[in-house]
């Protein structure tokens, strides 16, 4: 009788899994099929670059594919909503960046509460943004740029990777602190913006360092300054904007979260794997090439970072006086 009951219960679990699309899983055999990693920005941008570097390492490490899936739009909120609505089984992850902390206060209406509806998994790295301008702009320093904007109010446009990204809010903070006038032109990722910056249709961007640095090194744009409070270790020859605008700061982070309810055992497996990755000299060197500083953390530490960043950016949003419906 007990054997029949056990068989019936197992059948019910399997049937429920089939109907809901969720297969029973445990940390012991995780992952036993490909893992989707949702990112909110276009291929070729800084988030995409770092995601693909780490996803390859994780694929090799686990022997299962970690597939980067670009869900662009709404400053990364489309990807966040898709991840949050996915089964909490460890097979759908979300790339987390400052946009997720910023959107909480910038957007008046969101279909989710990011901190409530996700669980922190792992921190990847810390990074800065970089102000780069079109080579057609007659400026070579931050002060010259400020002077040019003040002499030509309303004629300078800045690109962003979408409303609510650190790229957007870095520019808005800069505008507020320097009292200059610039027009915002949002894109579905900074990779899509650079052709227009290079051709001077849009004059500048405060982009995440990985892609901004690649473009500046290639000579297609001119780097003026980094948004960290001091010069960034990987680009010590580029001044900090704070050297010209005291108090200016916009330092970001990259990490991983999962839908609320994801088993803590699976979170622990992923966190330990990312921690191992961030000790791999080859992977660390690749992150350094794009200007990233590895920042391994426990899930709890990363959760605190996201909460702290959410409060920090709330103050910036209020100071800049911006919002998105």
Q: Which of 13-22, 53-62, 215-224, 257-266 is predicted with the least confidence, judged by mean pLDDT?
A: 13-22
Q: What is the pLDDT of residue 7?
A: 41
Task: Measure the CA–CA gap between 243 and 226, rounded to whole angstroms.
Answer: 10
Sign of torsion, CA 186 187 189 194? negative
Residue 152: HSE in the Cβ half-sphere, 13 Å Cα cutoff = 14
CA distances from 277 to 60, 81, 237, 272 (A): 11, 27, 29, 9
Task: Measure the CA–CA gap between 57 and 72, rounded to whole angstroms.
Answer: 24
Task: Measure the CA–CA gap between 25 and 189, rounded to whole angstroms.
Answer: 34
Task: Measure the CA–CA gap between 312 and 306, rounded to whole angstroms.
Answer: 10
The set of residues, in sequence order, having a beta carbon less than 8 Å from that of 151 and lying 6+ positions away, is none
Q: What is the pLDDT of residue 15?
A: 41
Is residue 21 pLDDT above 80, yes or no?
no
Question: Given pLDDT bands bounded at 50, 70 and 90, which one contains residue 27?
Answer: confident
Please say whether the beta carbons of 259 and 87 come within 8 A: yes
Residue pLDDT, tens place only, 142-182: 999 999 999 999 899 999 999 999 999 999 999 999 999 99
Supply 47's token pair: 């988030």
State the Cα torsion 235-142-191-302 to the nearest 10°: 60
DSSP 278-300: TT-HHHHHHHHHTT-EE----HH
Please say whether the beta carbons of 269 and 212 come within 8 A: no
Task: Measure the CA–CA gap between 234 and 91, rounded to whole angstroms.
Answer: 34
Residue pLDDT, tens place only, 260-293: 999 999 999 999 999 999 999 999 999 998 899 9
Question: Given pLDDT bands bounded at 50, 70 and 90, which one contains residue 26?
Answer: low
Sign of torsion, CA 119 46 295 283? positive
Question: Given pLDDT bands bounded at 50, 70 and 90, which one contains residue 320?
Answer: confident
pTM: 0.85
Residue pLDDT, tens place only, 213-222: 999 999 999 9
Residues in the chain: 325
Task: Measure the CA–CA gap between 204 and 58, rounded to whole angstroms.
Answer: 35
Is residue 4 pLDDT above 50, yes or no?
no
- What mean pLDDT do residues 192-199 have? 97
């Amino acid at each position: 009788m007990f054997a029949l009951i056990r068989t019936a219960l197992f059948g019910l679990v399997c049937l429920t899994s089939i109907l809901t699309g969720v297969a029973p899983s445990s940390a012991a055999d995780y992952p036993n099929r490909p893992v989707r990693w949702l990112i909110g920005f276009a291929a070729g941008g800084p988030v995409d670059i770092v995601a693909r570097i780490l996803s390859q390492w994780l694929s090799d490490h686990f022997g299962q594919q970690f597939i980067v899936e670009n869900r662009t739009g709404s400053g990364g909120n489309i990807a966040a909503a898709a991840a949050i609505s996915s089964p909490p089984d460890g097979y759908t992850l979300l790339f987390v960046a400052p946009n997720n902390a910023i959107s909480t206060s910038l957007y008046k209406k969101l279909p989710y509460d990011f901190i409530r509806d996700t669980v922190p998994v792992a921190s990847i790295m810390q990074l800065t943004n970089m102000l780069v301008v079109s080579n057609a702009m007659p400026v070579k320093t931050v002060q010259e740029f400020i002077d040019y904007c003040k002499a030509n109010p309303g004629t300078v446009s800045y690109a962003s990777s979408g409303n609510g990204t650190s790229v957007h809010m870095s520019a808005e903070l800069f505008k507020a602190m320097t009292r200059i006038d610039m027009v915002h032109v949002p894109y579905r990722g900074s990779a899509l913006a650079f052709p227009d910056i290079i051709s001077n249709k849009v004059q500048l961007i405060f982009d995440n360092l990985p892609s901004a640095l690649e473009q500046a090194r290639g000579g297609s744009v001119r780097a003026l300054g980094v948004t960290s409070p001091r010069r960034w270790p990987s680009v010590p020859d580029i001044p900090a904007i704070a050297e010209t605008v005291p108090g200016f700061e916009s330092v970001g982070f990259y990490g991983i979260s999962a839908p609320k309810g994801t088993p803590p055992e699976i979170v622990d497996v992923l966190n330990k794997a990312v921690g191992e990755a961030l000790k791999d000299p080859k992977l660390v060197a690749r992150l350094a090439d794009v200007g990233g500083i590895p920042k391994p953390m426990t899930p709890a530490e990363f959760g605190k970072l996201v909460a702290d960043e959410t409060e920090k950016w709330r103050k910036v949003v209020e100071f800049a006086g911006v919002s998105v419906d």
